[in-house]
Amino acid sequence: MSAAVQHTLASSATLEGTSLHTGQKVTLTLKPAAEGHGFKFRRVDLPDQPFINADVEKVQTVERATTLAEGSVKVHTVEHVISALSGMGVDNALIEMDANEPPIGDGSSRPFVEMIKRVGVVAQSTPRRVWEIREPIHQETADGTIITIVPSKTFRVSVTNVGPEGRFTQYFSTEVTPATYEQEICAARTFVYYEDVKPLLEKGLIKGGSLESAVVIRGNEIMSKEAMRFSNEFARHKALDLIGDLMLSGVRILGHVIAVKPGHGPNTKMAGVLKAEYNRMRSMVPADVNLPVGEGVLGINDVLRILPHRYPFLMVDRIVDCLSENKCIAMKNITINEPYFSGHFPGHPIMPGVLQLEAMAQVSSVLMLRKPENTGKLGYFMSADKVKWRRPVFPGDTLFIESEILKIRGSIGQTRCRCLVNGEVVSEAELKFALLDR
């Protein structure tokens, strides 16, 4: 399965069962969906068969399960089916139900994984949106939950479950791929502590619960008929829930999610943070720039680790990285505090064209020096061809710098670059470099 493009189901699959909290009989059907569709629920039992997007902004309640709502229409306990779809590499699917909650099955996401395996997954043509986390994101809540996401070249989860009085403290960590999700995560069952059962019943929940649909814990003993599937099954199920809840952000990530005492409330709160940060990053890119797979941001500290340049001659604030090996986009905020404005056209400050050229050269260096074979080298500027300056750049502008590798032969690299302000090209050039050891 290629991680570069979106995937959907090869055909429809249906599952019948009982809902955990409402106790209703329900038929759930997973259907293929078009590129860019994402995950949507559809209540086929209601007039007009309304849709609900699997979006963190639709989260209504998070007590014991994640509930989505669109007006008065609700779907409960969505995390298991979303987790299965996401974990198995599906990007687009329609989830139809004739009740307000999916079947609970054995309390895991394995029944949904079996549905997906039964019909298969097919590649689509549109690039998959994957956000590579570049800077740590940290969240703590009043109940002691800690969720931190740190940079990683893969999607990884590390979960510590801590029960009441520290009972059943367990740890689980894995890279999440369709293979590891199927083998290590999907079979882990939901669990409940015996002392919590009565309050849940009083609230009208777990009407469809049984010893076959969840692991029940009384004191330090397991009451369920089936033995533990894993020694750390509870931590694995927390990872399962976490994967489903975070996908409500609407974007896959490359990052290491480290969670202590996760729950649906903190999970969906972090999904909201991810969505907001992702949208903030996207807003910095001109509307006409189409970011493909693996969009992410290289912060200033990342840039400083790659380039030898330092203020006032560093012409790059941040890289908007398209994850293509041959193209990237950078950003430079032009402020009146730039030292060159004090002497360049006094009274009418504009950014010198040669410094735009230098910005293109620095972005090209970042692009080429990120290749593993060029680690530790320096890019020495050799020539500039087809240079054009089309309009002035003023203080207050945000300069976006695009660089694309045309070819690399031995130690010589050539790039095509352009600078844009408000979507308009202000300068462009083709540059040549020598890549030499430091």
Residues classed as catalytic: 264, 344
DSSP label of 342: G
AA identity, residue 344: H
What is the secondary structure of 180-245 as a DSSP string?
HIIIIITTPPPEEEHHHHHHHHHTT--TT--TTTSEEEETTEE-SSSPPSSTTHHHHHHHHHHHHH
CA distance 435 to 414: 11
Question: Nearest-5° angle of CA 169, CA 173, CA 178?
Answer: 130
Contact 257, 157 (CB under 8 A): yes
With a CB cutoff of 8 Å and minimum separation 6, the contacts of 196 are none
Q: What are phi and psi of 286, to 5 degrees?
A: -55, 150
Secondary structure (H, E, C), 406-438? EEEECCEEEEEEEEEECCEEEEEEEEEEEEEEC
With a CB cutoff of 8 Å and minimum separation 6, the contacts of 152 are 133, 254, 255, 256
Contact 147, 262 (CB under 8 A): yes
Q: Is the dihedral of CA 96, 99, 100, 101 positive or negative?
A: negative
Number of Cα atoms under 13 Å in the Cβ half of residue 271: 28
What are the tokens at 311?
């203020």
Roughly what angle, to the nearest 10 degrees, separates helices 264-283 and 233-246? 40
Q: What are phi and psi of 200, to 5 degrees?
A: -65, -40
AA identity, residue 54: A
In the block, residue with structure tokens 């009982």: 18
With a CB cutoff of 8 Å and minimum separation 6, the contacts of 365 are 306, 307, 378, 379, 433
What are the tokens at 118?
């039964």
